[in-house]
Amino acid sequence: MIKVENLCKSFKTKKKYPGFKGAIKSFFSKEYIIKKAVDDISFNIKDGEIVGYIGANGAGKSTTIKMMTGIMTPSSGSVIVDGIIPYENREKNAKDIGVVFGQRTQLWWDLPLSETFSLLKDIYEVSDKDYEERMSFFYETLELKDFLLSPVRTLSLGQRMRADLAAALIHNPKIIYLDEPTIGLDVVVKENVRKAIKRINEIYGTTIILTTHDLNDIEELCKRIIIIDNGKKLYDGSLEDIKNKYGYMTTLEIQIKKQFDLSKINLNKILKLNTEDLNFIKEDMKLVVNFNKNKVSSSDIMFHIMKEHRVIDFLVKETSVEDIIKRIYRNEV
């Protein structure tokens, strides 16, 4: 269905010099920097897959999505979506895809949502029957009813995102591209958006490509993930494998009242764990514990530490996508 081959995109930007004088110098300068935003990326995506496309800020995710959706033309390499080259055949491609950029809306600012939807119905030539069916699905899964008559500019972020999602799906596209669909949403709305995405995939067999910084999005939606860093593909495979390898390491930060001696902490021996699954770092009065949560619980660790030390405070840090990427990078998958 989707075939990306040796895809590259470079941006040419003026060299920037620091400070006020630098700004003037930059303005007149003819020196350019070439930034390889996407650097030789290849992958295939099958019909009906949900793929998480992840990476740190500036990794090149949005740039890839823009080329896949036809908004941007590659510097070299190619994208073929369902036999069409999106950036050469934008109109034809647009009929089969839906796009949501979480950072900005595609909706008409001043129109009530209901009118936006009927406009899109006409643009995409959706039949009355299909339109009815889809709208009732959206009413139910995305709970649009409450704000259907409000102009888009008055919607809250969560409402707007749900509206954007519905708008991208009105023509029942074969593929949807979601660039950070849960950014800035509260936990409850995030959960609703995820549920809707999941159901759309189940009911319509829609292929979904999703970028996010939220590991929970990935966890709930994607079996397969592609990780990119600095424009290059770092990993393509199952989420399960990655998690088994890297995701189960968790960090516990413990504030201890008195100075302590790191060499006297012998929990590895007590709990019979090697340093790969349990290790300690000292930062001033803070004890930082990295541990494999499959093998030991934070309460076990706390229990042993508290036997020997006065603990003032502690904090368990969730693993983020960025943490996993950093780990993969260090271990060079």
Ligand X SMILES: Nc1ncnc2c1ncn2[C@@H]1O[C@H](COP(=O)(O)OP(=O)(O)OP(=O)(O)O)[C@@H](O)[C@H]1O
265 or 325, CB closer to ligand X? 325
Q: Which of 214, 235, 244 is nearest to 102 (CA)?
A: 214
Rule CB under 5 A: say whether 182 interacts with Mg ion.
no
Burial class (CB in 10 A: 0-12, 13-18, 19+), 80: middle
- How many helices (H) does the chain have, and how many strands (E)? 12, 13
Q: Which stretch binds Mg ion (CB under 5 A): 43-51, 56-64, 68-76, 271-279?
A: 56-64
The least distance separating Mg ion from the CB of residue 274, rounded to whole angstroms, comes to 38
When binding is defined by CB under 6 A, the residue of 45, 50, 63, 233 that contacts ligand X is 63
60 or 173, CB closer to ligand X? 60
The least distance separating ligand X from the CB of residue 121, rounded to whole angstroms, comes to 31
The least distance separating ligand X from the CB of residue 76, rounded to whole angstroms, comes to 16
Entry field: residues in the chain: 333
When binding is defined by CB under 6 A, the residue of 13, 127, 259, 299 that contacts ligand X is 13
Rule CB under 6 A: say whether 184 interacts with ligand X.
no
Phi, psi of 89 (to 5 degrees): -140, 65
Cα 99 to the center of its chain, rounded Å: 14
Q: Which of 236, 199, 162, 201 is nearest to 50 (CA)?
A: 201
Cα 243 to the center of its chain, rounded Å: 16
Rule CB under 6 A: say whether 178 interacts with ligand X.
no
55 or 74, CB closer to ligand X? 55
When binding is defined by CB under 5 A, the residue of 49, 50, 56, 62 that contacts Mg ion is 62
The least distance separating ligand X from the CB of residue 60, rounded to whole angstroms, comes to 4
Could you say which of Mg ion, ligand X, none residue 37 binds, taking C-beta under 5 to 8 angstroms by partner kind?
Answer: ligand X
Query: Is 86 in contact with 70 (CB distance < 8 Å)?
Result: yes
The least distance separating ligand X from the CB of residue 213, rounded to whole angstroms, comes to 6
**Single-letter residue type at 121:** K
Tokens of 146: 């409450």
Give CA–CA dist 183/213, Å, rounded: 8
When binding is defined by CB under 6 A, the residue of 50, 62, 93, 277 that contacts ligand X is 62
Give CA–CA dist 286/260, Å, rounded: 9
Query: What is the footprint of ligand X within residues 20-59 (CB under 6 A)?
Result: 35, 37, 55, 57-59
Rule CB under 5 A: say whether 207 interacts with Mg ion.
no
Give CA–CA dist 258/73, Å, rounded: 60
Positions touching ligand X (CB under 6 A) are: 11, 13, 35, 37, 55, 57-63
Positions touching Mg ion (CB under 5 A) are: 61-62
